[in-house]
């Protein structure tokens, strides 16, 4: 059976099935792009959309509050929808609004709530699935991708992965993972250059989602050995349809193996840096998830020491070569805020911190146990099975402090009505969860322990401000509240940014008025939390180890409300 595009009354063959030949890459690309054709009749489905102004507001919300870096060509898309709305694919619009509706005031008002608005547009898009899943076009790929994002935010893992799987297969049919698919003649128009970049970015959006939600039960969709497509260009080049002089490559792909310097280009785009950080996260998540069954059974060290060292070095090397404008600083955040790319920038720097945290957090129990034995023997028996616990502990909580600094800056510079991706909410949860653990076990990092309570309080306050938009975030908020001693969380606190992260491996704890490590150590949680279901979401990867030796709370049914198994198992 031949897959095909249907345009201008002709069926266009796009693959080789049996004795059918592939089109030349240039011809294939022109049909993949499907540059809008003006038509005179309204397509079925527009009558199901809200008023025009509300649709525009919803699309704008997607580009400002969720995908600041994405595949929509903003100038061309808004121009087309303004001049000839009938030319815009309604399946794509339903899918866009399924993500952005919860942040769009007019749609929240119309459907009486963000959740209801999301469900409405997901329902409309679902009605078109049967036809669109067999239509290998960019609009179909983008639509299923966005539906996957919306379902992930709803906490429905299975639907999310199925929609993503459809998008991935359609992308494979169109050969979006191959660089030769994007070849254009020198005579190509600027519009064709823009839409070529749209196709490239569509593939990389799929790839980065796969990395952000990787795990042992969700393997990567495309083998890196098959990915020859280079990374996206700068936003200005995308807007103006300019061909970049050079493009960066993702480490592990054939172009990067052939020319390693392409992974370190100082001129790489923010989108390229974002994709590289998400690729590193995927490596960390898969490593942690793959070891989870062994660790859950109590066998062996937390991670193989060689795997830990190799990935730790890869993270450090990457961070040392990140372009200066892509490194973390409040100054850079303010600059990207002006350009409308602040959330994309935060996603890059925060995921880098998360990768460092998750990699080291698997040694938390070794830190505690080793410290206890060290007080008796003055030696560290864990040194044979992993890195010295004190070094890992300092690095872990340094990364927590740096993540907390980024979160604090996000709240400081965020507009009150600005939306945000669920990733940022997850970062707040991670920061609070680690602070909560340190509050109970201050001996594992005495230098940072005095700040633990304040960071925990700010994290819970931050989650309470953010949890209303994302159903999944509500679980993180409830989990952190139940895992903490609520009687100690009533005091109002100011953001803590006065202690710089240290890169040393030891040192005395600073004197802090009113701080007593023994009293903090005795302030036990009402509930310790742990996710027993090893899966591929970022939440589950984070929780795989942290409270693994506190299974008794789960056996007592403490988590039935916080972690409903119907959504994540």
What does the DSSP assignment read for 526-550? S------S--SSHHHHHHHHHTTT-
pLDDT in tens, 234-255: 999 999 999 999 999 999 999 9
Whether residue 252 is found in the same domain as residue 277: no
Cβ(253)–Cβ(222) under 8 Å?
A: no
Whether residue 354 is found in the same domain as residue 240: no
Question: Is 331 domain-assigned?
Answer: yes
Whether residue 498 is found in the same domain as residue 368: yes
Nearest to 251 by CA among 275, 235, 271, 285: 275
Write down the mean pLDDT value for the chain.
Answer: 76
> CA 70 to CA 68: how far, in whole Å?
6
> CA 96 to CA 80: how far, in whole Å?
16
Q: Say yes or no to pLDDT of 69 above 80.
A: yes
* Backbone angle region of 499, left / alpha / beta, with phi > 0 → left and psi within -120 to 50 → alpha: beta
Whether residue 49 is found in the same domain as residue 80: yes
The HSE-up count of residue 307 (CA atoms within 13 Å, CB side) is 16
Q: 10 forms bridges with which residues in the sheet?
A: 7
Whether residue 250 is found in the same domain as residue 377: no
Tell me how many domains the chain contains: 2
Q: Say yes or no to pLDDT of 5 above 70.
A: no
Whether residue 392 is found in the same domain as residue 474: yes
At residue 142, the pLDDT reads 97
pLDDT band at 484 (very low <50, low <70, confident <90, very high): confident
pLDDT in tens, 210-229: 766 655 556 677 889 999 99
Q: How far is CA 302 from the centre of its chain?
A: 24
Whether residue 231 is found in the same domain as residue 362: no
DSSP percent split of the chain into helix, strand, coil, nearest 5: 60, 0, 35
At residue 293, the pLDDT reads 52
- Mark which of 257, 292, 314 sits at the end of a domain: 257
Question: Is 265 domain-assigned?
Answer: no
Whether residue 315 is found in the same domain as residue 226: no
- Rounded mean pLDDT, 314-323: 96
pLDDT band at 474 (very low <50, low <70, confident <90, very high): confident
Residue scoring higher pLDDT (458 or 380): 458
- Mark which of 257, 283, 303 sits at the end of a domain: 257
- Rounded mean pLDDT, 528-534: 25
Nearest to 526 by CA among 499, 553, 560: 553
Among 7-16, 458-467, 541-550, the range of highest mean pLDDT: 458-467
At residue 216, the pLDDT reads 52
Whether residue 536 is found in the same domain as residue 449: yes
- Mark which of 257, 279, 305 sits at the end of a domain: 257
- Rounded mean pLDDT, 53-71: 91
Q: Say yes or no to pLDDT of 26 above 70.
A: no
The runs of H, that is alpha helices, within 232-304 are 235-240, 254-258, 270-296
> CA 393 to CA 209: how far, in whole Å?
30
Q: Say yes or no to pLDDT of 32 above 90.
A: no
Q: What is the extent of the structural domain holding 44?
A: 21-257
Cβ(277)–Cβ(352) under 8 Å?
A: yes
């Amino acid at each position: 059976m031949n897959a095909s595009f249907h345009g201008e009354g002709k069926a266009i063959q796009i693959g080789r099935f049996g004795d059918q030949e592939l089109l030349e890459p240039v011809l294939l690309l022109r049909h993949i792009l499907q540059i809008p054709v003006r038509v005179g009749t309204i397509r079925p489905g527009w009558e199901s959309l809200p008023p025009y102004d509300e649709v525009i507001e919803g699309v704008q919300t997607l580009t400002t509050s969720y995908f600041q870096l994405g595949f929509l060509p903003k100038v061309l898309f808004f121009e087309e929808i303004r001049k000839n709305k009938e030319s815009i694919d309604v399946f794509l619009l339903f899918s866009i609004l399924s993500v952005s509706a919860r942040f769009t005031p007019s749609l929240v008002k119309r459907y009486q709530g963000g959740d209801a608005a999301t469900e409405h547009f997901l329902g409309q898009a679902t009605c078109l699935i049967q036809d669109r899943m067999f239509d290998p076009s960019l609009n179909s790929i983008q639509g299923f991708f966005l539906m996957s994002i919306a379902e992930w935010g709803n906490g429905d893992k299975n639907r999310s992965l199925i929609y993503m799987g459809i998008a991935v297969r359609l992308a494979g049919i169109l050969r979006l993972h191959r660089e030769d698919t994007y070849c254009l003649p020198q005579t190509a128009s600027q519009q064709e250059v823009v839409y070529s970049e749209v196709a490239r970015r569509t593939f990389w959006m799929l790839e980065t989602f796969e990395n952000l939600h990787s795990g042992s039960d969700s393997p990567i969709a495309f083998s890196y050995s098959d990915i020859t497509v280079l990374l996206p260009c700068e936003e200005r080049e995308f807007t103006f349809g300019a061909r970049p002089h050079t493009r960066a490559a993702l480490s592990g792909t054939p172009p990067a193996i052939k020319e390693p310097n392409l992974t370190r280009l100082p001129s790489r785009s923010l989108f390229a840096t974002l994709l590289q950080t998400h690729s590193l996260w995927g490596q960390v998540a898969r490593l942690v998830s793959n070891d989870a069954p062994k660790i859950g059974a109590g066998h062996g060290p937390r991670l193989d020491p060689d795997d830990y060292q190799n990935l730790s070095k890869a993270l450090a090397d990457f961070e040392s070569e990140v372009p200066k404008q892509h490194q973390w600083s409040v100054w850079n955040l303010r600059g990207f805020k002006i350009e409308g790319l602040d959330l994309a920038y935060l996603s890059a720097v925060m995921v880098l911190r998360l990768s460092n945290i998750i990699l080291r957090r698997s040694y938390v129990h070794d830190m505690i146990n080793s410290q206890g034995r060290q007080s008796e023997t003055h030696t560290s028996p864990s040194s044979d099975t992993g890195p010295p616990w004190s070094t890992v502990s300092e690095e872990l909580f340094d990364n927590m402090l740096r993540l907390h600094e980024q979160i604090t800056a996000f709240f400081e510079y965020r507009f009150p009505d600005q939306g945000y991706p669920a990733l940022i909410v997850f970062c707040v949860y991670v920061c609070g969860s680690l602070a909560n653990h340190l509050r109970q076990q201050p001996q594992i990092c005495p230098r940072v322990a005095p700040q633990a309570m304040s960071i925990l309080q700010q994290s819970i306050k931050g989650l309470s401000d953010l949890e209303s938009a994302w159903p999944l975030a509500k679980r993180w908020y409830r989990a952190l509240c139940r895992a903490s001693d609520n009687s100690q969380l009533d005091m109002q606190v100011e953001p803590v940014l006065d202690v710089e992260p240290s890169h040393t491996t030891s040192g005395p704890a600073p004197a802090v008025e009113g701080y007593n490590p023994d009293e903090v150590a005795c302030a036990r949680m009402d509930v310790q939390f742990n996710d027993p279901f090893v899966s591929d979401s970022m939440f589950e990867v984070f929780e795989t180890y942290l409270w693994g030796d506190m299974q008794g709370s789960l056996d007592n049914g403490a988590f039935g409300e916080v972690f409903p198994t119907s959504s994540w198992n």
